[in-house]
Structure 1
Amino acid sequence: MQQPHPAGEAGKGQPSGNQPPWGPPPGPAQQPWGGQPVWGGQPVWGSQPVWGSQPVWGGQPVWGAPPGGPPAWGTPPHNPYGGPPPYQQPRYVAPPKPGIVPLRPLMFGEILDGSFQAIRRNAKAMLGAALLAQTLAAVLTAVLSSFSATSAASLEAWAAGLTEQDLVPLVVTFASGILLVSVLTVFLSAVLQGAMVVPVARSVLNRPTGFTQMWSLARSRAGALIRLAALLVGGGLLVALLFVALAVLLVSTVGGVGALILIPLGLVCFVLYVWVYIKLMVAPAAVVVEELGAMAGIRRSWELTRSNWWRLLGITLVVGIMVGVIAQVVTIPVTLLTGFYTGVVSPHGGSEQAMTAAVVAGVATAVVTAVVAAAGFAFQTSVMALLYLDLRMRRDGLDIALLRLLESGADPDGVPGRGVPVYRAGPGQNPRPPYGAAPGGAWPDGR
């Protein structure tokens, strides 16, 4: 007579001498998912300890052993990063942002936002220096507007009595005066652009800067900035004079064909000017922050902008278009002031009232233009300074040095970035130093 299977009806057909290693299969009274032992008392998913000490799937502890038995899956692997499993990978920690930008290589939106915040946090220093840079041009514009409005008729009558030989030196003198004022404005702007890098660099570590403090920190670099401005302005004037001389020579020798040659030649000169401008854009910042001379600042700017020319060109074009559009939107209502006053408010006021309205409108236009130009100049300078810091973060690991400076709190009244060694990558090496290693082998505070 055949003996019944020890496991009951569920075990029929299975040899009694060849039991599965974990015991008999579950009978009718066993529940595989409710926390009851399955396959001979070993828990399977319903009571299996998984990942630590929290009760899961029926109240069994994680990474523990079921009551009365050995550990189900062995001991958990070592977690070198700490924290509870299963998060066995290091968690991402965002770089700190103590000031206007985070301490890492920057994106385009962060550069724009940081520029606005730099102006807002250092309004006296940034806008004061920008107004100083635009004052000369504003005064010249106001004087010319008033003079032309009050003397248009007399000038026309006076010019009608002059011969061609008398007009030539007059035009040359007038053009020379305008050129001189323009050169002085560009020269002053180049010098102030370097000084305005100081509040932007300090704002990265949330250190506000006043107008007096900005000049005290940039005073030692004034001579180098003046020499740099002289080199840049002199180089631009030399190229312009060469182009004008070549144009006169071509027109005088070949006539109309020379004018056709000047069109592609002018485009080539313009492209060359833009290329050199982008390559030398961060030279004032390098002179002030790294305490370099004029020629060394030019070489440093040339080195930093390598492999970043197109990116810098795109950012510069977008910022320039933004500033230009905003300036036009603000100044258009002021330019319409004269027509509105003479045509609507006082249409029968006479010539004297029209002249007075023209003078007032000219002066108001000059003032508003100066304020808008100062704000635009401050914004573009902030963008240039942040681009310089971004390039140094990408190439020299400046963000690591600034992080150490932030942690130590050293040099609270200085310029962040001064004294940081320049990282020189070898052939085939990453141009950016690895995290955890100080650029140049030492940190500026000696740690």
Structure 2
Amino acid sequence: MSQPDPGNRPEQGPQPPWGTQPQWGAQPQWGAQPQWGAQPQWGAPQYPGQSWGAPIDPRWPAGGPPPYGQPRYVAPPKPGIVPLRPLFFGEIMDGAFQTIRRNAKTMFGSALIVQAISGALSEVAALGMLGMVQPPVGGFTSQDEAMRYLGPVFGATAGIMGISLLTLVLAAILQGVMAIPVARSALNRPTGFKQMWSLARSRLWPLVGFAFLLLAGSLLFLVVVFLLAALILTALGPLGVLLLLPLGFGAAVVYAWIYTKLLVAPAAITIEELGVFAGLRRSWTLTSRNWWRIFGITLLVFFMVNVIGQVIQIPLGLASSGITSVFAPHAGASQVTTTAIVLAVVSLVVGVLVSAVGFAFQTSVAALIYMDLRMRRDGLDVELLRLLETGEDPDGVPGRRRARQAGAQPWPPNTAQGFPRG
């Protein structure tokens, strides 16, 4: 058997002849090797404007592709108080402050009117209680004596409750009206006091209906809780007191849950031009799957406003007692009454100012929560971008139905811009 020829292997191809092997003299010289202080020249840069020896500039030149083939990140625009995308907690807080700063006369002026009315009425009721007859030490000797004392007490208590309910109604109406400058500030459109009320004119009656429905619901809720407590005490006697604590806690939880679910109803009624019940359903839908987040933001803002208000009011109260004891240590009854009235007026003015700022801030936060929910669920940020680019309806309210119907583009889907919705 013959052996295969080692110089002819068809399955591997012919071997190169020995005479064509590279010579030792053709090897690269040591001097041609790359030096330690220089980068190896692997070839021309892949992208225009790029050099191997220069440091990478994070601001990649316009017109050239980004490094490593990654898509270039473009931050969402922020023409106004917040960026046009779903919002974070810090952006909601900052946007509320920016709204008050850019629309100071509109936001603070409207809140000041409501707080001044409620504060003045509350102070009148409080001063009226100061002049009431003190109860006798040994108790009432007759029914007429008891009625002479308890009548003004019940009247003052009813007056204070009525003032609180009136404040609730005015606050609910004003919360919807003040959502207009917040929505316009998202596109850096300032809103005057007269312009805000002009834009909200057609929504006042639905807001009034919502306010009285909220008032009726709150009263019904309190009556039910009171009746349950009365039935428990009647059936169990003193042992029923042990059940009042969990009853009160459960009632507070239910009230907080319903209040959070209906938080953005005034803004929905005003901006989307909805009816009373449609606004309630809209708020209930928007707040689904976001209840804990909304409740946490609202609770934190509530504590912030009240703590700041108390920090301002406590030194004023201490100063009031100090002024009375220093300047009029042996004053008569008339002087004490005059001093008390003057200090009450000063405290009222300071309290109204602080309450107006706090109410404007809370209202702005609620309106920004509404806009954030619509950005997450309805793609409102895309609609705002379209209005920003086209400049359409500069004197209207961004997000209203008329503005959406005027455009040719349909309402955007939930996955627009790649941001997580819901």
CA RMSD after TM alignment = 3.2
State whether structure 2 residue 102 is matched by structure 1 residue 121: yes
Aligned with 2:417: secondary structure?
A: coil
Answer yes or no: is the 8 Å Cα contact 2:82–2:92 preserved in 1.
yes
Q: Which residue of 2 aligns with 1:3?
A: none
Contact 2:122 2:163 in 1 (8 A): no
Query: Is 2:279 aligned against 1:301?
Result: no
Give 1:434 deviation, angstroms: 2.2
**Separation of aligned partners in 1, 2:381 and 2:227:** 48
**Does the 8 Å contact 2:81/2:186 carry over to 1?**
yes
Structure scoring higher RCO (CA < 8 A, sep ≥ 6) equals: 2
The aligned counterpart of 2:165 is 183
Give the aligned partner of residue 92 of structure 2: 111
Structure 1 residue 171: deviation in Å? 3.6
Task: Report whether the alignment pairs 1:292 with 2:274.
Answer: yes
Specify which of 32, 41, 46 is matched with residue 41 of structure 2: 46
Say which of 193, 198, 208 aligns to 2:190: 208
* 2:262 counterpart letter in structure 1: L
Could you say what secondary structure the match of 1:255 adopts?
helix
Distance in 1, Cα, partners of 2:20 & 2:40: 25
Distance 1:262 1:33, change over 3 A: same
For residues 83-94 of structure 1, the aligned pairs below 5 Å read: 83-84=64-65, 86-94=67-75
- Conserved? CA contact 2:135–2:149, under 8 Å: no
Residue 334 of structure 1: CA displacement?
A: 1.9
Residue 323 (structure 2) aligns with: 341
Q: Is the 8 A contact 1:304 1:395 kept in 2?
A: yes
TM-superposition CA deviations, 1:159-207 (whole Å, max 9, x none): 9775345555544333222211111110111011100001111111111
Q: 1:146–1:363: 8 Å Cα contact kept in structure 2?
A: no
Q: What runs of 5+ residues in structure 2 fail to find an aligned partner? A: 1-16, 54-61, 406-411
Aligned partners of 1:119 and 1:379 also within 8 Å:
yes
Distance 1:145 1:381, change over 3 A: same
* 2:216 equivalent in structure 1: 234
Letter in 1 for 2:178: M
More helix by percentage:
2
Q: Map of 1:22-421 to 2, 5 A cutoff?
A: 24-28=26-30, 30-33=31-34, 45-46=40-41, 48-52=43-47, 82-84=63-65, 86-149=67-130, 151=131, 163-164=145-146, 166-419=148-401
Mark the CA change 1:57 to 1:269 in structure 2 (over 3 Å): closer, same or farther.
closer
After superposition, give the CA deviation of every residue in 1:121-179 in whole Å (9 maximum; x if it has no partner).
11111111111221232112322344445x36x55579977534555554433322221
CA distance in 2, matches of 1:55, 1:361: 73
**Structure 1: runs of 5+ lacking an equivalent:** 1-14, 35-43, 59-80, 423-429, 440-447
* Inter-CA distance 123–50: structure 2 relative to 1 (3 Å threshold): closer
**For this pair of structures, how many residues does the alignment match?**
385
Contact 2:125 2:159 in 1 (8 A): no
Q: Is the 8 A contact 1:99 1:206 kept in 2?
A: yes
Q: TM-score, normalised by structure 2?
A: 0.83
- The residue identity in structure 1 corresponding to 2:29 is G
CA–CA distance in structure 2, aligned partners of residues 349 and 54 of structure 1: 86
SS of 1:411 mapped into structure 2: coil
1:97/1:55 CA distance change after superposition, 3 Å: closer
Among all aligned residue pairs of Structure 1 and Structure 2, give the percentage whose two residues are the same amino acid. Answer: 51
Runs of 4+ in 1 over 4 A off after TM superposition: 15-18, 52-58, 154-162, 165-170
Secondary structure in 2 aligned to 1:343? Answer: helix
- Distance in 1 of aligned mates of 2:52 and 2:195: 66
Q: What is the Cα deviation at residue 336 of structure 1?
A: 2.0
Cα distance in 2 between the residues matched to 1:170 and 1:123: 41
Matches of 2:383 and 2:66, distance apart in 1: 34
Q: Which secondary structure does the structure 1 equivalent of 2:32 belong to?
A: coil
Change (3 A) 1:413 1:257: same
Aligned to 1:230, what secondary structure does the other structure show?
helix
Q: 1:389-445: per-residue Cα shift (whole Å, max 9, x none)?
A: 0000011000010000010001000001112669xxxxxxx9823239xx9xxxxxx
Are residues 251 and 431 of structure 1, via their aligned partners in 2, closer, same or farther at CA, if it must alter by over 3 Å? Answer: farther
Amino acid at match of 2:73: Y
